[in-house]
Structure 1
Amino acid sequence: MTDFLDPVLTFIADNPSLAGLICFLAAMGEALFLIGLFVPTTVVLVGAGTLVGLGKLELMPLLIWTTLGATAGDAVSYWIGWKFKDTIKNIWPLYKYRSMIESGEEFFKRHGGKSVFIGRFVPGVKSVVPGIAGMVGMNFTRFSVVNVTSAVAWSIAHIAPGVIAGSALHAISQISVRLALVLGALLFIVFLSVMLGRWLILIILPLFPNAHAAIARWFSRRPDRISQWIGHNFDPAHPRSTGMLASTIILLVSMPAFFWLIGEVAPNEPMVRADLAILNLFDSLRTPLGDKIMVFMTTLGDGVVVTAVAVAVALYLFAKKAWRRGIGFVIAIAGTAIFVPLLKLMLHRSRPMELYTGADAYSFPSGHATLNAVLFGICAVLIAHERSRWAKAAIFSVTVTYVIAIGFSRIYLGAHWMSDVLAGLLFGTAIVSAFAFVFGPIHNEKIGRLTVAGIVCAVLAGFGGWHVHRSFDAALVTYAPQVHKEILQAADWRQTTWRSLPAQRIGLNGDAEEPLVIQYAGSLSDFAGLVEKDGWVRPPKWSLSTAGGFVEGETPPDSLPILPRSQNGRQPALVLIRNDPKTAKGGRWVLRLWPSRFEIMEGGTLEPLYVGSVVHEDILRPMGEFSGPKTDRDLPDADNNPARLVPGAVVRQRPGGTPVVLARRPEQPGLASQTGN
């Protein structure tokens, strides 16, 4: 993993002007009239700030580029508003967001000229306020002063969190680079989930306002009582129709996805292979400090903590005589607690490690992910009830972050497969959506939303903290990294057990790729030295000059860097290339060796066993302006397999006829090269 990311960071560090240009375009894009809704500026700027904290970029040039972009974007939006004025509302597709423009006008009326400064920091209006200033004829000089000063403050506010996060990750990387990668991956997953929710609320839903009303009218015209109820409650004029519609859509997506996932975890399905690849990936990234963080999160999501929070919230709801919500809450939690073990018993899917007994000994779905998603999702619904749209977004963002962190910890610790956690999150989301649909419209059961939030936080901090303190040391032992290495005797490996190694490379998506035609035990440097005499060399590293070779039409094959490929989640331990003079337009052979879970024992010596592929890449040159490698052969002839150069190598045939070369270094006395089946 680090071998893949290091060239990316080095590329950015070597080209700071390119990073500045990207930040300029992103900041300008978000400030453009309404277009800013579609530009993921926060992702770009926080990511750039993170690279500053990691020491890969300079802060001041980045701030200057970002400020210039934000200033230019607002200036263009001002000109658009000044040029088109009220006709903007009738231009496609801007009329789809008429309500947002009207909100911007109301915001400008309320705050006057200072709305240009304030609006830059207010989600929902920041992409329209500069245009409104132009529409109402705000003095350009005054606008420019406010524009520049707000752009400076805005740039600092967006880049600073990334700098802090990057500095923290840099400090952690001094302890362990792998831990920094794990935490960075978790932050990325959470951030992506929040951003997708934001785009759904601000961009996708406004595109279909007429469809919402048309569907409601169609149901209201039908005579039966169910259609009348749907038409009334989903009418856009109904104060809670949007929430009910969102709940319905989420339910109709998450529940079918959950049942689809059940079918995908059958034996030999690609999802099963993807699960193993992801497990191996996280196994390679584990560190002692990372284990402690993830054990803390997974222990905080244990069943006893979930039960304590659920009981406390249920007692409060009944004490406030919120009978319907209280009963619905209990049914949702109890039903989920019964459903999860029943489904585990039905599917009998084994865990990656042995943890529990009874139904909990099985894996699918993850009880931690499912129960925490249901409990805290319903609590979020209760707390966010009848609050503003942005308050709801903040509450659900915190909830999503917490629940995903618990699910992530189960995958990291090897307690569950990735699909187990995904299924738990999907089912939990469906239950929360059903609860919100049924009980969201209730307004005559008054509960203290801040009180519910206080109860949840207090029980988590009190009882949850006590449980973590009591169980932490034992949990560290329980979730300790598993040793997956298996020792093979050299003689058995050469004759029979070589067949137990995978026949094809497995990608992260679980698909079977090119054949694995090499099994090598020994030192990688020895292997590289032996095949060097046949023209095999290490490929060029990623840099601006080597990456630029892809956009040039005459780049030699040995000057192009290698695209990454993983085997069951593991990155290659050795990559070599060799030019192919037989191809008229230029081509190359690429050899990759990946570590396996096996070790070879012979004569008291234990050596790691690697599996490898040898593929041929043709260099495509469309229009003579680009150089793009494309795999056109996925295995060499048996005589041209570079592993044959290792003294003592033997050749075996798989049932389909694919030759596999078995080689070991150092050379064992008396071992002659041979061929057999």
Structure 2
Amino acid sequence: MKQEKPANEQIQNNVQDKVEKVQQEVTESREPWYMVSRRTQFLIAAYLIIFAAFSALAWFVHVHPILSVDVVITKEFQESKKPILSNLMVAVSYLGNQSILFFALIVLTALAFWVVRLRLEALFIIGLSAVSTLLNILLKYIVSRPRPNANLVEVFQRATGQSFPSGHVMSYVAFWGLIFSLGLILFKRNRWWNYALLIIPAFFVVLVGPSRIYLGDHWASDVLGGYLFGGLLLGLALWLYMFLKGRGVLAPKTRKPGEQMLDPQPSNHGSHQPARS
């Protein structure tokens, strides 16, 4: 029993050392605050612009549930029956079909951000996915558009519920799109994982739309609606993120000597001490 305590302490020390090394690597790869602010403002503008057509599209598909252009696009997508393409489309959509697995991935990703002291970002990863899911349910109820009919196109995976907007697309934009955005605005390109934070999320966001059309689960206009509304949510989330970040919410309390200001420091209105040069 006397040897058990030192062994446990050694394990804890080893874990703590590894965590600190990861934190240090992430900190060294962070962009300074002024660069984060500039990039985020650009993304917010881009995400809000793509929302401009969403309301009109939602109204149009509510009035016209079946569009000839949707049928044509789906048939074009489904012309190729190559196994490699079919397997790729199924694989891309797989995560969205497994709610528990997707939820676990979201939680683990948020935990990883929390461990490296990106705590506000961790909360946004969970929060945006939750809000996106709830709004997708509400929008589908309001628009009430039926899913593609097997008499018109091939339906490889029959899904339940309404069709507009695509839940897969919205959930992927909320999770993978946010990871991509954070990877783009927060980090430099001096680590291999900096590129992984961009390439992997972009892969899923770009391909989830075509996969839903190819599998016959959604019309192309459902997918477009998912991207548009998902882009709106992402833009609003980044605006709120910058608002809270600018006030130092959940920012690290201390910085190492000589370290760049990676996060803005909350203003202290109650202090009137003169600044030191």
TM range (shorter): 0.5 to 0.7
Select which of 226, 246, 264 maps to 1:424. Answer: 226
Q: Could you tell me which residue of structure 1 aligns to residue 47 of structure 2? A: 251
State yes or no: 1:277 paired with 2:72. Answer: yes
- Cα distance, 1:261 vs structure 2: 2.0
State yes or no: 1:242 paired with 2:44. Answer: no
Select which of 363, 380, 390 maps to 2:180. Answer: 380
- Cα distance, 1:372 vs structure 2: 1.0
Describe the SS at the equivalent of 1:416. coil
CA contact 2:50–2:232 (8 Å) conserved in 1? yes
CA gap 1:385/1:249 in 2 versus in 1, 3 angstroms: closer
State yes or no: 1:436 paired with 2:238. Answer: yes
CA gap 1:439/1:268 in 2 versus in 1, 3 angstroms: closer
CA gap 1:380/1:366 in 2 versus in 1, 3 angstroms: same
The count of aligned residue pairs is 206
State yes or no: 1:291 paired with 2:86. Answer: yes
Describe the SS at the equivalent of 2:216. coil
- Whole-Å Cα distance in 1 between the matches of residues 225 and 201 of structure 2? 18
CA gap 1:346/1:321 in 2 versus in 1, 3 angstroms: same
Report Cα offsets for 1:414-440 as digits up to 9, x if no partner: 111111111112222222233333325
CA gap 1:315/1:245 in 2 versus in 1, 3 angstroms: closer
Structure with more helix by fraction: 2
CA gap 1:330/1:297 in 2 versus in 1, 3 angstroms: closer
- Whole-Å Cα distance in 2 between the matches of residues 319 and 395 of structure 1? 17
Structure with more strand by fraction: 1
Q: Could you tell me which residue of structure 1 aligns to residue 141 of structure 2? A: 345
Describe the SS at the equivalent of 1:256. coil
- Cα distance, 1:253 vs structure 2: 0.7
- Whole-Å Cα distance in 2 between the matches of residues 288 and 321 of structure 1? 43
Q: What is the one-letter code of the residue matched to 2:166? A: S
Structural mapping, 1:527-546, within 5 Å: none
Structural mapping, 1:576-615, within 5 Å: none
CA contact 1:266–1:272 (8 Å) conserved in 2? no
Q: What is the one-letter code of the residue matched to 2:52? A: P
CA contact 2:180–2:202 (8 Å) conserved in 1? no
Report Cα offsets for 1:446-501 as digits up to 9, x if no partner: 6xxxxxxxxxxxxxxxxxxxxxxxxxxxxxxxxxxxxxxxxxxxxxxxxxxxxxxx
- Whole-Å Cα distance in 2 between the matches of residues 312 and 393 of structure 1? 19
State yes or no: 1:365 paired with 2:161. Answer: no
Q: What is the one-letter code of the residue matched to 2:120? A: R
Kindly, what percent of the aligned residue pairs are identical? 26
- Whole-Å Cα distance in 1 between the matches of residues 75 and 110 of structure 2? 41
Provide runs of 4+ in structure 1 moved above 4 Å. Answer: 317-323, 389-395
- Whole-Å Cα distance in 2 between the matches of residues 280 and 241 of structure 1? 43
Q: What is the one-letter code of the residue matched to 1:399? A: P
- Whole-Å Cα distance in 1 between the matches of residues 175 and 118 of structure 2? 17
Q: Could you tell me which residue of structure 1 aligns to residue 132 of structure 2? A: 336
- Whole-Å Cα distance in 2 between the matches of residues 257 and 328 of structure 1? 26
Describe the SS at the equivalent of 2:52. helix
Report Cα offsets for 1:572-604 as digits up to 9, x if no partner: xxxxxxxxxxxxxxxxxxxxxxxxxxxxxxxxx
CA contact 1:264–1:272 (8 Å) conserved in 2? no
Structural mapping, 1:476-555, within 5 Å: none
Describe the SS at the equivalent of 2:165. coil
Which one has the largest radius of gyration? 1
Q: Relative contact order (alpha carbons < 8 A, sep ≥ 6): 1 or 2 greater? A: 2
CA gap 1:290/1:244 in 2 versus in 1, 3 angstroms: closer
Describe the SS at the equivalent of 1:284. coil
Describe the SS at the equivalent of 2:225. helix
CA contact 2:106–2:175 (8 Å) conserved in 1? yes
CA contact 1:306–1:375 (8 Å) conserved in 2? no
- Whole-Å Cα distance in 2 between the matches of residues 433 and 389 of structure 1? 23
CA gap 1:290/1:327 in 2 versus in 1, 3 angstroms: closer
Q: Could you tell me which residue of structure 2 aligns to residue 304 of structure 1? A: 100
- Whole-Å Cα distance in 1 between the matches of residues 85 and 69 of structure 2? 23
- Whole-Å Cα distance in 1 between the matches of residues 90 and 114 of structure 2? 34
CA contact 1:301–1:406 (8 Å) conserved in 2? no
- Whole-Å Cα distance in 2 between the matches of residues 274 and 393 of structure 1? 37
Q: What is the one-letter code of the residue matched to 1:313? A: T
- Cα distance, 1:402 vs structure 2: 2.2
Structural mapping, 1:32-43, within 5 Å: none
Report Cα offsets for 1:303-358 as digits up to 9, x if no partner: 3332121111233445566553333332211111111111111111111158344x
Q: TM-score, normalised by structure 1?
A: 0.28
